Amino acid sequence: MSALAIPESRVLPSEEEVRRLVAAVLEGVAPAEPATTAPEASVEPDRSPASTESAEVAVGADHGGYRLKERIVADLRERGFAVRDCGTDSTEVVDYPDFAHRVARLVADGDCRSGIVVDGAGIGSCMVANKVPGVRAATCWDLSSARNSREHNHANVLALGAGLIGESLALDIVQTWLTTPWGGDRHARRVGKIDEIERRHLAAAGAGAVR
């Protein structure tokens, strides 16, 4: 009997059985089909301008900004915005920190989407508002600074100086500021660093519960 001869006692599988065996082996080693899942939704920054009724605007001023504040409130309401008037209610001398803080708290707490503070120069009220965690206030004197503060810096409180800009320009600044969308993208990283610096100092000072 040659080396290639097969003993008669051994029964070879049929061709059909071989095919079934090969198919079973291949099925066992073949990689599983990758599960089809819906593509993960990308998170896009909020680029929509502030709406009217759904985005209440808090507005406050000291005695120096009272008259301009009244004009801003009236103009916003005429345009359909919901407005929270935080005072003051006359030209009687008051302290701007009280009203700027009131507006800033409404924004920081989420009661109002945006805030506008008015005093003589727009600087002191801006400083006050920026002391409130979660607020990014910007003093704007023209349309370019209004657009930039919203698109690049994600400002949520606008500060105006009634003694430095006229009423017509102030109203244009307010509308430009409210309707300019947040740019996101590369600006988001930088604004994120602003927020991180704020959190770091709050933690270091133990001031997280200060109101």
User: Which whole-number Å values give the CA distances from 197 to 129, 131, 190, in the listed order?
Assistant: 16, 13, 11
Q: Name the pLDDT band for 10 (thresholds 50, 70, 90).
A: very low
Distances from the Cα of 105 to the Cαs of 63, 198, 210, in angstroms?
Answer: 20, 16, 12
* Whole-angstrom distance, CA of residue 151 vs CA of residue 144: 10
Token pair listed for 67 = 């008259």
Instruction: Outline where the chain has alpha helix (H).
Output: 15-29, 66-78, 96-108, 124-129, 143-151, 167-179, 186-205
Domains (ranges, CATH) in the chain? 57-187 (3.40.1400.10)
The one-letter amino acid at 86 = C
Q: How confident is the model at residue 42 (pLDDT cuts 50, 70, 90)?
A: very low
- Which residues have a Cβ under 8 Å from the Cβ of 46 and sit 6 or more positions away? 181, 182, 184
pLDDT band at 182 (very low <50, low <70, confident <90, very high): confident
- Residues forming the active site: 152
Mean pLDDT (the chain) is: 82
Beta strand 57-61 pairing with 83-85: parallel
User: Per-residue pLDDT tens for 112-167?
Assistant: 999 999 999 999 999 999 999 999 999 999 999 999 999 999 999 999 999 999 99
Per-residue pLDDT of 82-121, as tens digits, reads: 999 999 999 999 999 999 999 999 999 999 999 999 999 9
pTM exceeds 0.75, yes or no? no
Q: What is the mean pLDDT of residues 18-30?
A: 49
pLDDT at 48 over 50: no
Residue 140 CB-density burial (10 A; 0-12 exposed, 13-18 middle, 19+ buried):
buried
Confidence at residue 206, expressed as pLDDT on a 0 to 100 scale: 79
